Structure 1
Amino acid sequence: MKKLLLPLLAVVALVACNDDNVNNQEINYSNLPQEFPFSTLMTLNGVNVINGGFGSGATAHPTRKGEFYVITDRGPNVAYSNGIKILVPNFTPTIMHFKINADGNIEVLKYIKLKNPSGQLITGLPNPAGMGSTGETAYAADGSVLGTDNYGLDSESIVAAADGTFWVSDEYGPHIVHYSADGVEMERVSPIGVNTGARKLPAVFAKRRPNRGMEGMCMTPDGKMLVGTMQSTMYVPTKALATNTTLTRIVTFDLATGQTKQYLYKQDGGASDSVCDITPISNTEFLVIERDGNFGSVGGLKKVYRINLSNASDVSGTDLTAVDGMKINGKTLEQSTWDEINTAGLKPVTKTLAVDLVAKLGYEHDKFEGIVYLGNNKLAIFNDDDFGVADDGNGNPKTKILPKTGKQDKGTMYIVDIQ
Structure 2
Amino acid sequence: MKHLHRTASLGVALALFTALTPALADSTATVGGLVNKGLVGVGRIPAAQRDKFGETFGSGSGMAIDTASWTHDAGTYKGSLWLLPDRGYNVAGTTDYRPRLNTIGIEFTPAAPGAAGQEQTEVKATLADTMLLTDDKGADATGLDPLSDVRAAAGDMPMLPVATNGKLALDNEAIVRLPDGSMFISDEYGPNIYRFSAQGRLLSATQPPAALVPMRKGKPNFSSDNPGPGAAEPDPKDPDTGRQNNQGLEGMAMTPDGKFLIAVLQSAARQDGGDSGSTRQNTRALVYDASDLAHLKLAHEYVVPLPVFKDAKGKTKIAAQSEIVALSDTSFLMLARDSGNGQGVKGDTSLLRQIFVVDVSAATDIAGGSFDAADKPVAPKGVLDPSVTPAKLTPFIDINDNAQLNRFGLHNGAPNDHNNLSEKWEAMSLASVLDPKLPDDYFLFVANDNDFLAQDGFQVGAPYKADDGANVDTMFLVYQVTLPGLAKK
TM above 0.5, yes or no, is yes
Q: Could you tell me how far 1:284 is from its partner in structure 2? A: 2.7
Secondary structure of the equivalent of 1:204?
helix
Matched, 1:156 2:173: yes
- Alignment partner of 1:55 is 2:60: yes
Once residues 277 and 124 of structure 2 are traced to their aligned partners in structure 1, the CA distance between those partners, rounded to angstroms, is 46
Q: Does 1:374 align with 2:415?
A: no
Assess if the C-alpha contact under 8 Å between 2:43 and 2:475 holds in 1: yes
CA 1:125–1:312 in structure 2 vs 1: closer, same or farther (change >3 Å)? same
Compute the displacement of 1:286 (Å).
Answer: 1.2
C-alpha distance in structure 2 between counterparts of 1:51 and 1:213, whole Å: 24
CA distance in 1 between partners of 2:256 and 2:443 (Å): 17
Deviation readout 1:72-102 (Å, 9 max, x if unpaired): 11111025xxxxx22x42x111111122137
Partner of 1:246: 281
Q: 2:349 aligns with which of 299, 305, 325?
A: 299
C-alpha distance in structure 2 between counterparts of 1:356 and 1:58, whole Å: 20
Q: Determine the C-alpha separation between the residues in 1 that align with 2:453 and 2:479.
A: 24
* Aligned with 2:131 (options 112, 137, 141): 112
How big is the shift at 1:34? 2.2
2:86 to 73, 82, 89: 73
Counterparts of 1:205 and 1:250 in 2: how far apart (Å)? 11
Check whether the contact 1:245–1:334 (CA below 8 A) recurs between aligned residues: no
Match 2:302 to one of 263, 267, 271: 263
Output aligned runs, 1:320-335, within 5 Å: 322-325=373-376, 332-335=378-381
2:192 matched residue in structure 1:
175
Q: How far apart, CA to CA, are the structure 2 residues paired with 1:320 and 1:148?
A: 35
| Displacement over 4 Å in runs of 4+ | 237-243
* Aligned residues with identical type, % of pairs: 25
Confirm whether residue 273 of structure 1 aligns to residue 319 of structure 2. Answer: yes
* Kept in 1: contact 2:188–2:248 (CA 8 A): yes
* CA shift in 2, pair 1:243/1:316, >3 Å: farther
Deviation digits for residues 24-51 of structure 1 (CA, Å, limit 9, x no counterpart) = xxxxx9773222574358xxxxxxx971
- The higher-RCO structure (CA 8 Å, 6+ apart) is 2
Aligned partners of 2:280 and 2:382 also within 8 Å:
no
1:202 aligns with 2:209: yes
Choose from 271, 276, 292 the match for 1:236. Answer: 271
Residue 288 of structure 1 corresponds to 334
Name the residue aligned to 1:24.
Answer: none
Q: What's the RMSD between the two structures over aligned residues?
A: 3.3
Contact 2:273 2:280 in 1 (8 A): no
On the 8 A contact 1:123/1:149 being kept in 2, the answer is: no
The C-alpha deviation readout for 1:156-215, integer Å capped at 9, x for no partner, is: 11110112101100110101000001100000112xxxxxxxxxx211111001111111
1:121 corresponds to which residue? 140
Q: 2: CA distance between counterparts of 1:235 and 1:185?
A: 29
| CA distance in structure 2 between the aligned counterparts of 1:386 and 1:105, rounded to whole angstroms | 21
**Contact in 2 for aligned 1:70/1:97 (Cα 8 Å):** yes
CA distance in 2, matches of 1:39, 1:336: 42
**CA pair 271-151 structure 1, distance change in 2 beyond 3 A:** farther
Change (3 A) 1:334 1:243: farther
- Maintained 8 Å contact 2:186/2:193: yes
Structure 2: 5+ residue stretches without partners: 1-38, 71-78, 110-122, 153-160, 214-241, 309-315, 406-410, 413-420, 433-440, 456-463, 483-489
What are the Cα deviations for residues 348-390 of structure 1, in whole angstroms up to 9, with x where unaligned? 1121111111113235111100011335253211000101169
Q: Tell me the TM-score normalized by structure 1.
A: 0.72
Assess, with a 3 A threshold, how the Cα gap between structure 1 residues 31 and 415 changes in structure 2: closer, same or farther.
closer
Change (3 A) 1:164 1:220: same
1:70/1:154 CA distance change after superposition, 3 Å: same
Aligned mates of 1:321, 1:284 — CA distance in 2:
20
Give me the whole-angstrom Cα distance separating, in 2, the residues matched to 1:57 and 1:102: 19
Q: For the residues of structure 2 that align with 1:356 and 1:102, how far apart are their CA atoms?
A: 22
Structure 1 counterpart of 2:102: 96
* Contact persistence 1:62–1:160 (CA under 8 A): no
CA distance in 1, matches of 2:270, 2:372: 16
Whether the aligned pair in 2 keeps the contact of 1:236 and 1:242 (CA below 8 Å) is: no
Aligned length: 338
Amino acid at match of 1:365: S
- Counterpart Cα distance in 2 of 1:308 and 1:413: 26
Q: Is the 8 A contact 1:50 1:388 kept in 2?
A: no
Give the match for residue 466 of structure 2: 399
- Partner SS for 2:247: coil
Query: What is the match of residue 366 of structure 2?
Result: 315
Relative to structure 1, the CA distance from residue 255 to residue 317 in structure 2 (aligned partners, 3 Å threshold; closer, same or farther) is closer
8 Å contact from structure 1 (residues 50, 387) kept in 2: no
Matched, 1:411 2:474: yes
Separation in 1, partners of 2:108, 2:324? 28
Are the counterparts in 2 of residues 57 and 71 from structure 1 also a CA contact under 8 Å?
A: yes
Q: Does the 8 Å contact 1:247/1:334 carry over to 2?
A: no
Confirm or deny: 8 A CA contact 1:52 1:385 kept in the other structure. no
| 2:395 corresponds to | 353
SS at match of 1:101: strand
Instruction: Work out whether residues 262 and 286 of structure 2, in 8 Å CA contact, stay in contact via their aligned partners in 1.
Output: yes
Give the structure-2-normalised TM-score.
Answer: 0.62
Asked if 1:365 corresponds to 2:407, the answer is no
Say whether the 8 Å CA contact 1:52–1:386 is kept in structure 2: no
